[in-house]
Homo-oligomer: A and B are copies of this chain.
Amino acid sequence: MRLLLIEDERELADALSRALSKHGILTDHTMHLADAVELTRQNVYDAILLDRRLPDGDGLTFIPQLRRTGTDTPVIVLTARNEPLERVEGLDVGADDYLGKPFLVEELMARLRAVLRRPASLAERQIAVGRMMIDPLHLSVAIDAIPFDLPRRELLVLTALAKRKEKTVLRSTLEAAVYNYEEEIQSNALDAHISRLRKRLLDAGAGVAVHNIRGVGYLLKEE
């Protein structure tokens, strides 16, 4: 899952990014509304976290702007301006949720899940493949209903493959699913993850296999 965080307090932003990454969520961060518009054009985010008090204006002005481009990505407003009237204001202009600072990361996670559940979201509910059930939303995996723990990166690879199971996923798509901007890689780290993931799937008897299509990408297939 990939979020856009629009927030001008660097410390909070960093802390939040770190916290979310523990949940397997990639976060792109910007401090300016102007950049945010660009970023949403360039990327498909699962959700947007928006501060109100920003250097270049009230974050709320961003929401109509976003909707006008036809994007219905959920927006969660995170702000100290948490008076009831201010909340109404926020939701009226199209925010999907409104969360007052300070807040617990767990609450944010819960609200995220809630927001993503609403429409038949891109992030599908559960994917069954082989003897596995994969839940891209909670980033959890089970084999025969028994939870199956995976390291974060391998989990991201697996869910990205599962979302398009039985179809080839371009190598570049996988890279985008596992890494965000700041963390470019220059080695075969992705290959290494795939190798380790394969071993784990094999040891666990998951009933699935990761195939390579030389020069193109990978695909997840039942055995």
Residues in chain A within 8 A of chain B (CB atoms): 22-24, 41-43, 104, 106-107, 109-111, 114, 135, 138-140, 142, 145-147, 149-152, 155, 164, 166-172, 176, 181, 211, 213-217, 219, 221
Contact A23 B170 (CB under 8 A): yes
- Tell me the bound Cα distance from A135 to B217 in angstroms: 14
Partner of A114, one of B41, B104, B111, B142: B41
- Whether B181 contacts A138 by the Cβ 8 Å rule is no
22 pairs, CB–CB < 8 Å, chain A vs chain B? A22-B171, A22-B172, A41-B110, A41-B111, A42-B106, A42-B107, A42-B110, A42-B111, A104-B181, A138-B167, A139-B168, A139-B170, A139-B216, A140-B168, A140-B219, A142-B167, A147-B166, A147-B168, A147-B219, A149-B168, A151-B215, A155-B216
Q: How far is the CA of A172 from the CA of B140 in the complex (A)?
A: 14
Q: Which one of A138, A155, A164 has the highest number of Cβ atoms from chain B below 10 Å of its Cβ?
A: A138
Majority secondary structure of chain A interface residues (helix, strand, loop or mixed): mixed
Check A216 against B24 for contact (C-beta < 8 Å).
yes
- Cβ contact within 8 Å between B172 and A221: no
Q: How far is the CB of A145 from chain B (nearest CB, A)?
A: 8
- Sorted nearest first, the 7 A-B pairs with minimum C-beta distance are A152-B215, A42-B110, A140-B168, A22-B172, A42-B107, A23-B172, A149-B213
Q: How far is the CA of A216 from the CA of B174 in the complex (A)?
A: 19
Chain B min CB distance to A161 (Å): 12
* Residue contact B138 to A168, C-beta cutoff 8 Å: yes
Chain B, Cβ-Cβ closest to A175? B22
Contact of A170 among B110, B138, B149, B150 (CB under 8 A): B138
Measured in the bound complex, the distance between the Cα atoms of B20 and A172 in whole Å is: 9
Q: How far is the CB of A5 from chain B (nearest CB, A)?
A: 17
Residues of B contacting A216 with CB < 8 Å?
24, 139, 152, 155
